[in-house]
Amino acid sequence: NAGVTQTPKFQVLKTGQSMTLQCAQDMNHEYMSWYRQDPGMGLRLIHYSVGAGITDQGEVPNGYNVSRSTTEDFPLRLLSAAPSQTSVYFCASKPGASNTGELFFGEGSRLTVL
């Protein structure tokens, strides 16, 4: 059982380039989310989705886009990368939208923007 799979694991971009971080889960989870982790800052929520076709903003959404066309996939798009977006990105999912549920995390994608 693969769980939450993120690709790529590492990426280096130049300022202004665009890219998509992929996230896929095989647990039929309704809820999916993206966090960024920066030293001393903990994890901050970027965007989340409570089901296919539904997305919403988290704490730090600026500079990022998401879409949810299927239950399994929740890609995160950087349209014009900036050095401030250098971070480790985590995708996480849970069975339903209830706040009681456990989040299952991917292994992370480390992004460096030069």
Partner 1 sequence: AQSVTQLDSQVPVFEEAPVELRCNYSSSVSVYLFWYVQYPNQGLQLLLKYLSGSTLVKGINGFEAEFNKSQTSFHLRKPSVHISDTAEYFCAVSEEDSGAGSYQLTFGKGTKLSVIP
Nearest approach, Cβ of residue 10 and partner 1 (Å): 11
Tell me whether residue 19 or residue 103 sits nearer to partner 1 (CB atom): 103
Q: Residue 32: name the closest of 21, 42, 40, 41 by CA.
A: 21
Query: Do 32 and 49 meet the contact criterion of CB atoms below 8 Å apart?
Result: yes
42 binds partner 1 (CB under 8 A): yes
Query: In the window 56-85, what residues touch partner 1 (CB under 8 A)?
Result: 56, 58-59
| Nearest alpha carbon to residue 106 among 39, 43, 40 | 43
Spatial contact of 21 and 79, defined as CB atoms under 8 Å apart: no
Residues engaged in binding partner 1 (CB under 8 A): 4, 31, 33, 35, 40-45, 48, 50, 56, 58-59, 90, 92, 97-100, 102-103, 105-108
